[in-house]
C-alpha cells in the first residue's frame, strides 16, 4: 500500500500545502511548499536547528525560564547559555541587547506566544525590536509557535517570522497541542539557505516522518475544518483554565499571586521572595503520600 511506503524528507506535499495556507491566514507567514518540512513534533525541529547552528561553546540566548525540552536538546551541543529575564510582555529586550553587545551569540530561542512555562505573550513592539537586534548582530532566531493556536481571548499578534526581513527566523510548530501529542508530527519553515541545510540534517536523523501518520492527518484535514476544530478545543481549554483559576482564588493564600493568561497551558504562580518553595513542595508531596504534616 502507498501509505506504508517511503515519502520524502520534507514530507507529504498535500499536508505541507495545507500548512502553507494555515500559516498564511493564522500566522501571517508567507512561505511555500518548498520551504515547509514535516518533523517528529516541534521537538525535532528544535533539535535539527540546534544541530545546524550550535557547536561547543557557541553563544545561545534563551528566556529565563524556558521550555525544558528545548534546553535538553540544546545541551547536547554544549553551547554557552545566556539567560534573558522574561517579563509580562516577553523577553527583557534591554537585557538582550546588552548581552548581544558583550557576547558572541549565534542563536536566540524564544516562545513568544503563551510562553512555556510563564504563559507570557511578547508584545508587538518587542517582536519588532528582537528582529532589529538579530539583524544588527547577525543572529538566527528560533521561534517556537507550539502554543500559538491556543488563544482564548484577545487578538493574535504577528509571528516574529512574519516580521523577518532578512531570512534569519526559523519557525517551528506542532500538531501536538491542536490534534494529538501521540501523532508526533510538527513542522518548520525557514528561508532557502537555512532550509536546505535542515533538510540534509533531517535526512540523516530519521530519513522522513511517518508517511502513514502524515496521511492520517492530511485526510482528517480534508474532511474537517482545522479552524473550527481549533475554536472548539480553545473553548474547552478556556473552561478548564477558568475552573483552575476559580479553585486557586478559593484555596490559595492571599500571599500568592498568579496570572490569568489569554491562552496556552500555563498559569504562573509567584510567592514572596522569603517564601521557601522547596519546603512547600516537599510538604505537599509528603501530604499526598499519607504522611501527616504538622
Strands 36-39 and 186-189: antiparallel
- Cα–Cα separations (whole angstroms), residue 140 to 21, 54, 116, 126, 215: 25, 11, 20, 16, 32
| Confidence (pLDDT) at 291 | 43
The pairing of strands 80-87 and 59-64 is: parallel
The mean pLDDT value for 218-247 works out to 97
Q: Show which of 201, 224, 247 is a domain's final residue.
A: 224
Residue 241 · residue 261 · CB < 8 Å: yes
Examine the domain organization and report whether 200 and 279 are in the same domain. no
- Same domain for 218 and 238, yes or no, is no
290 pLDDT band (50/70/90 cuts)? very low
pLDDT tens-digit profile of 241-274?
A: 999 999 999 988 889 999 999 999 999 999 998 8
Q: How far is CA 185 from CA 73, 105, 215, 275, 278, in A?
A: 17, 30, 11, 41, 36
Whole-number pLDDT of residue 6: 72
Tens of pLDDT, residues 102-125: 999 999 999 999 999 999 999 999
CATH number at residue 128: 3.40.640.10
Same domain, 102 and 246: no
Mean pLDDT of 124-153: 98
User: Does residue 293 surpass a pLDDT of 80?
Assistant: no
The verdict on 193 and 260 lying in the same domain is no
Q: Is residue 293 part of a domain?
A: no
Tell me: do 163 and 240 sit in the same domain: no
Of 30-34, 231-235, 259-263, 287-291, which gets the smallest average pLDDT?
Answer: 287-291
Q: Is residue 162 part of a domain?
A: yes
pLDDT at 63: 98
Same domain, 218 and 251: no
Do residues 192 and 146 share a domain? Answer: yes
Average pLDDT value for residue range 90-108: 98
> Does residue 218 sit in the same domain as residue 87?
yes
Mean pLDDT along residues 93-103: 98
Last residue of a domain, one of 224, 241, 266: 224
What's the structural domain count of the chain?
Answer: 2
Domain hosting residue 50, numbered range: 2-224
Share of the chain above pLDDT 70, in %: 96
- Boundary residue ending a domain (224, 246, 278): 224
Distance CA 101, CA 105 (A): 9
Same domain, 177 and 266: no
The angle that helices 211-223 and 13-22 make with each other, rounded to 10 degrees, is: 50
What is the structure's pLDDT at 161? 98
Pairing of strands 80-87, 169-174: unpaired
The pTM assigned to this predicted structure is 0.93
- Does any domain span residue 30? yes
Mean pLDDT of the chain: 94
Q: Is residue 294 part of a domain?
A: no
Amino acid at each position: 500500500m502507498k501509505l506504508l511506503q517511503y515519502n520524502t524528507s520534507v514530507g507529504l506535499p498535500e499536508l505541507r500545502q495545507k500548512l502553507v495556507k494555515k500559516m498564511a491566514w493564522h500566522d501571517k507567514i508567507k512561505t511555500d511548499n518548498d520551504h515547509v518540512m514535516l518533523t517528529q513534533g516541534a521537538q525535532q525541529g528544535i533539535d535539527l536547528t540546534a544541530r545546524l547552528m550550535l557547536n561547543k561553546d557557541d553563544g545561545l540566548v534563551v528566556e529565563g525560564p524556558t521550555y525544558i525540552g528545548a534546553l535538553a536538546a540544546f545541551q547536547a551541543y554544549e553551547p554557552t547559555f545566556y539567560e534573558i529575564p522574561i517579563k509580562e510582555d516577553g523577553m527583557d529586550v534591554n537585557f538582550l541587547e546588552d548581552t548581544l553587545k558583550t557576547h558572541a551569540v549565534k542563536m536566540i530561542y524564544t516562545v513568544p506566544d503563551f510562553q512555556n512555562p510563564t504563559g507570557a505573550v511578547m508584545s508587538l513592539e518587542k517582536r519588532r525590536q528582537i528582529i532589529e537586534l538579530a539583524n544588527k548582530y547577525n543572529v538566527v532566531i528560533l521561534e517556537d509557535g507550539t502554543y500559538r493556536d491556543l488563544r482564548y481571548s484577545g487578538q493574535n499578534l504577528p509571528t516574529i517570522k512574519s516580521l523577518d526581513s532578512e531570512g534569519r527566523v526559523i519557525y517551528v510548530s506542532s500538531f501536538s497541542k491542536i490534534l494529538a501529542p501521540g501523532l508526533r508530527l510538527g513542522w518548520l519553515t525557514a528561508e532557502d539557505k537555512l532550509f536546505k541545510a535542515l533538510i540534509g540534517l533531517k535526512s540523516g536523523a530519521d530519513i522522513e516522518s511517518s508517511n502513514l501518520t502524515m496521511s492520517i492527518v492530511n485526510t482528517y484535514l480534508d474532511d474537517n475544518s482545522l479552524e473550527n476544530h481549533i475554536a472548539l478545543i480553545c473553548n474547552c481549554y478556556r473552561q478548564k483554565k477558568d475552573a483552575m483559576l476559580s479553585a486557586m482564588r478559593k484555596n490559595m493564600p492571599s500571599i500568592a499571586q498568579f496570572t490569568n493568561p489569554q491562552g496556552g497551558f500555563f498559569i504562573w504562580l509567584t510567592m514572596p521572595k522569603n517564601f521557601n518553595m522547596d519546603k512547600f513542595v516537599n510538604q505537599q508531596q509528603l501530604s499526598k503520600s499519607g504522611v501527616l504534616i504538622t
